[in-house]
Structure 1
Amino acid sequence: MRVAILDTPAALSWDETKAAMGPGDRGYPVTGTDDEGWLAAATAALADGPVDGVVAFSEPHVVAAALIAEELGLPGPGVRAAVVSRNKLMQRELFGRAGLAQPAHFHARDADAAAGFAAGRWPVIAKPLSGSGSHGVQVLGDESELRAWAAGHGDRETFLVEEFLDGPEVSVEALLVDGEVRFSNVTDKTVSGLPFRVELEHHVPAALAPAVRAAIERVLIGVTTAIGLRTGVVHLELILQAGGPSVVEIAARTPGDYLMDVIEAATGVDLYDAVIAAACGLPLEIGKSRPDVASVWFPTPAAGTVESIEGAESIDRMPGVVKIEIDVLPGDEVHPLRSSMDRVGMVIYRAPDRDGLDDLLTAIRSRLIFKIR
C-alpha cells in the first residue's frame, strides 16, 4: 500500500520519517494541530486518490480520523467513541450509567467548587478534561495545593477532581473488529511517587491471577460497549482494588510508551500489522509465537544540564535488549518528571521469565550513566 502521512512539518522533516517512507508514500503537513487542522490535511490527501484505511496513531487526531473513516464507509472506532475517548468527563458519565466501577469524581468549574468536593477526601487527583501522557494530571494533598494547581491551569474553563485510588495500575491493549475483541493484552506498570504518577516501567504480560484477568476482560467489554467502539485498537487504564478493577480512562488509538513494541517483543504479535489490517477490512493474522516476558524502562536522571551519557552503545549489544533510544544530548536540559513529555529515553528488553527480566534491568541500570550538572 501507499501511505499518506499527516503530521506536523517538523515531524515530516525528521530523518527517521524520511527513511521510513517508501516509493509512492507522501507526507501532508498539518499547520494546526486542532481537529480543523487535521481535517484540512486529510482533504488534501483525499484529493490525491482513494483511501483503503484510516489509522489514528496519536491523541490529537483521533476525532478527525474517525470522521474521515465514517465519511468513506471504512472500518473505524466510530465518531461517538472517538469523541468520548477524548473527554474524561464524558467517559465518567457513560461509565457511571453502565455501572462500571470508577473513582468518585466532580466536574469543577472553579477552585471553590473543587475544594468543596475534595473536603474530607484528601488526597485527590486534578486533571484536565482532555489530553494525554499524564500532562496536567496531579495528586493534590490539601486545599492550598488544589488552588495552586487551578491557578496554574487558568486557561482551562473546567476540570475534573477525583478521589485518589491507591493500588496496582495496569493497562489493557486490545484490538476490536465490529465490536468483538480479537486480541487483548494486560500490562502492569511501575509509576513514580506522588504527586505526578508518571509511568517508569511497563511489563508484558502482567503477572495476575486468572480471576483478576477475567475481571479485567469483563471491564474491557463493558467499557468498549459503553462508548460504542466498533473497530480499532484501544488503550484502557485501570487501578486494581479489593472489589475489582476501577476504570481510569480509555483511549481509542494506538497506545503510547512503545507498548506495541513491548507486546511484540514478549509475544511475537505484530500489533502494527493487525491495526492496519483491521482499518482496511483485511483478515487478521494474530498468533502468539513467543512465550517471553518483556518490558520498557524509562530512565529518570536528576534534573539539570546533561554533561555526558555513557553506556548506551554497550547496552544496545546486550543479549535480551530489543531497542534503546536516548532523546537528549550533552548540553540539553533534563526537566523534573511531571509527565511522559519529560522523559529522556527508553530501553525495551525481554527475557524468558520475570526474574530474568529484573536481572537484565539491574544490569542495564548499572551501565547507563547520565552525568548531570
Structure 2
Amino acid sequence: MDRTYPVSGRDHEAWLSGASDALADGPVAGVIPFSEPHVLAAAMLAEELGLPGPGVRAALTSRNKVAQRELFQRHGLSQPAFHVARGVESALAWVGTSWPVVAKPISGSGSLGVRIVHDESELRAWFEERATEDPMLIEEYLDHPEYSVEAVTDRGSVVFSSVTAKTTGAPPFFVETEHRIPAEQDADELLRGVVQALGMGSGILHLEYRDGPGGPRIMEVAVRTPGDYILDGVEAALSVDLYDAVVAVACGERPHRIQPSHGAAAVWFPTPDPGTVVEIVGADRVASHEGVVKVEIDVEPGSSVNPLRSSMDRVGVVIVRADTSDELEARLKVVREELVFRTVPSGEDE
C-alpha cells in the first residue's frame, strides 16, 4: 500500500523532516530521490540506514555546479572553461572579449536561471536579476549538439546506460523541446570517468554533455531520476524499465530485465506561440495512432502559454516509439501535423 507524508517545503530541511515521519512508521527497504530537492536528504538517509545509495559526496557534488566543475577538473575530465564569479566585475574580468558565455546559478534544475549572455550589458542585467550574494558560474559557451547519458550503477559498477539526443529551443534559454532515444553516441569512457570521480555507489545518474570536434565535454551531472519523461522514453525505445532497476539497486538487489531491445523513441514537447489558448486540435486522434504511448496536455482553452524560458513553461508532451528510426520519423511527422495548439496574443479577443 502506498503512503504519503506531508512535507512543509521544498528545501533540504523539509525533506529530512518528512522522511523522519516516514522512518517512524517502520523499517525502510530503500531510499530513492526522484527530484533535485530530494537528492541530499535521500543520500544522507541511505547512508544512515546502511542502505545502498549514490553516496553523500556524489549527492553533494551533484547539487552544486561549482563543485562539479572543480571535481571534474581535478580528475582531468573534459568540460567547458569556467569561472566562479562573486560579482559582476569578477565575471567581466574573466570573460574579457570572449563572448558569448553561459551564466548560471550554482544550484537548481530545469534550466532555471541559466542564460546565454552576449555582452557586458546582458551580463550586468543577469546579475541584477539574481539579487543575491551567492557565487555564480560563468562558462565557455559551446555550440555543439547536446546529449545525456542515463545510467544505473550497482555498488560502483555501471549495469545499464543509454544516450539521449536533445533538441533545444531558441536562445538565450535553450530549453529542451525533444529527446531521441537511443542516440548513436559512445559515451562509455566519459561515463566511467564521471562515476569514478563522484565515487558513485548505487543509483541512477543523469549526465549531460555536448559533443564537438574535440570530443564530448561535460555540462553537468545529477544523481537522481531525470525529468522530461526520459525514463519513459527509454522504456518505450529499449523495453528497459529504469524505474524498476533503480528500486532494485536501492534495495540492494540485482536489477532484472536490463538487456535492451532494439527500437527508437521520441519525447516531444509541443511549442505553440505564446498567448491564450483558444483551441487544441487532434489530441484524441493522435493518442490513438500506432506507436504513440503517451499524450499529456497541460493546458486548455483559456490557459496562458508563456514564452519558453524553462521546462516549467511547456504545455504538454507526446511520446512516440517505433522499431526503426525511419519509422519513428514518419510517426512523429504525423503527430506534429495533427496536434495543433491555436493561440492568440494575450489581451486580444478570442
**Hey, what does 1:309 align to over in structure 2?**
280
**Separation of aligned partners in 1, 2:115 and 2:160:** 32
**Separation of aligned partners in 2, 1:228 and 1:207:** 27
- The correspondence of residues 99-248 of structure 1 with structure 2, limited to 5 A, is 99-155=76-132, 157-208=134-185, 213=186, 216-248=187-219
Among all aligned residue pairs of Structure 1 and Structure 2, give the percentage whose two residues are the same amino acid. Answer: 55
**Separation of aligned partners in 2, 1:165 and 1:119:** 17
**Hey, what does 2:40 align to over in structure 1?**
63
Q: CA deviation at 1:297?
A: 0.3
- The correspondence of residues 6-155 of structure 1 with structure 2, limited to 5 A, is 24-155=1-132
**Hey, what does 2:348 align to over in structure 1?**
none
Calculate the TM-score normalised by the size of structure 1: 0.91
Q: Secondary structure of 1:91's partner?
A: helix
Q: Secondary structure of 1:366's partner?
A: helix
**Hey, what does 2:259 align to over in structure 1?**
288
**Separation of aligned partners in 2, 1:38 and 1:263:** 28
Structure 2: gaps of 5 or more residues: 345-350
Q: CA deviation at 1:193?
A: 2.3
Q: CA deviation at 1:207?
A: 2.3
Which residue identity lines up with residue 227 of structure 1 in the other structure? Answer: L
Calculate the TM-score normalised by the size of structure 2: 0.96
Which residue identity lines up with residue 204 of structure 1 in the other structure? Answer: I
Q: Secondary structure of 2:5's partner?
A: strand
What do the CA deviations read for 1:249-293 (whole angstroms, capped 9, x no partner)? 000001111011100001110111110011001121134353110
Q: Secondary structure of 1:237's partner?
A: strand
Quick check: 1:293–1:357 contact (8 Å CA) kept in 2?
yes
Aligned with 2:301 (options 326, 330, 339):
330
Aligned with 1:319 (options 284, 287, 290):
290
Which residue identity lines up with residue 201 of structure 1 in the other structure? Answer: E
Which residue identity lines up with residue 329 of structure 2 in the other structure? Answer: D
Quick check: 1:128–1:156 contact (8 Å CA) kept in 2?
no
**Separation of aligned partners in 2, 1:327 and 1:119:** 43
**Hey, what does 1:20 align to over in structure 2?**
none
**Hey, what does 2:347 align to over in structure 1?**
none
Which residue identity lines up with residue 128 of structure 1 in the other structure? Answer: P
What do the CA deviations read for 1:59-107 (whole angstroms, capped 9, x no partner)? 0110000011000000000111001000000000000000001101110
**Hey, what does 1:298 align to over in structure 2?**
269
**Hey, what does 2:237 align to over in structure 1?**
266
**Separation of aligned partners in 1, 2:133 and 2:114:** 13
Q: CA deviation at 1:300?
A: 0.4
**Separation of aligned partners in 2, 1:114 and 1:62:** 29
Q: Secondary structure of 1:162's partner?
A: strand
**Separation of aligned partners in 2, 1:112 and 1:156:** 13
Quick check: 2:245–2:258 contact (8 Å CA) kept in 1?
no
Which residue identity lines up with residue 233 of structure 2 in the other structure? Answer: V
**Separation of aligned partners in 1, 2:178 and 2:331:** 13
**Separation of aligned partners in 2, 1:354 and 1:284:** 28
Instruction: Tell me if 1:360 matches 2:293.
Output: no
What do the CA deviations read for 1:232-263 (whole angstroms, capped 9, x no partner)? 00000010021211000000001111011100
Q: Secondary structure of 1:61's partner?
A: helix
Quick check: 1:310–1:370 contact (8 Å CA) kept in 2?
yes
**Separation of aligned partners in 2, 1:39 and 1:30:** 9
Tell me the matched-pair count: 344
